[in-house]
Structure 1
């Protein structure tokens, strides 16, 4: 809720997602290696994403990156 957010006063160092639920309530969720996911662009399966794998890549584009599931990744490698 507004005014009671522990992070608003310089608390923990982290990345987080903030979403307004309505005029008086918002949800703040820490982004970590256990709660970031995407959908495989080939089959739609949910894929866990570890941003640590991308931080050193200067070409990384969060909005232009697609991550395949393990099964589809195998298929793509075999197609080449």
Structure 2
């Protein structure tokens, strides 16, 4: 089991199991929350969580239509 852990204060921390239903990111173009299938992202053996961007459907279509150039939105 993989999980994330966050210390809330000196006496409390929260651990949450990572599943195929609770991983999300923000689209780098529009900032929309996008569900992420970690198994699919990492299945090629070359991707990593730090160097991978997941676009929403609409922005993904724009990027595919116009090539790889896009403006990164700061969230």
TM-score, normalized by length of structure 2?
0.82
State which of 61, 65, 70 in structure 2 corresponds to 1:78: 65
- Which residue pairs with 2:42 in the alignment? 55
TM-score, normalized by length of structure 1?
0.77
Higher relative contact order, structure no. (Cα contacts within 8 Å, ≥ 6 residues apart): 2
Q: Does 1:27 align with 2:52?
A: no
**Contiguous gaps of at least 5 residues in structure 1:** 1-13
User: How many residue pairs get matched?
Assistant: 67
- Which residue pairs with 1:46 in the alignment? 33
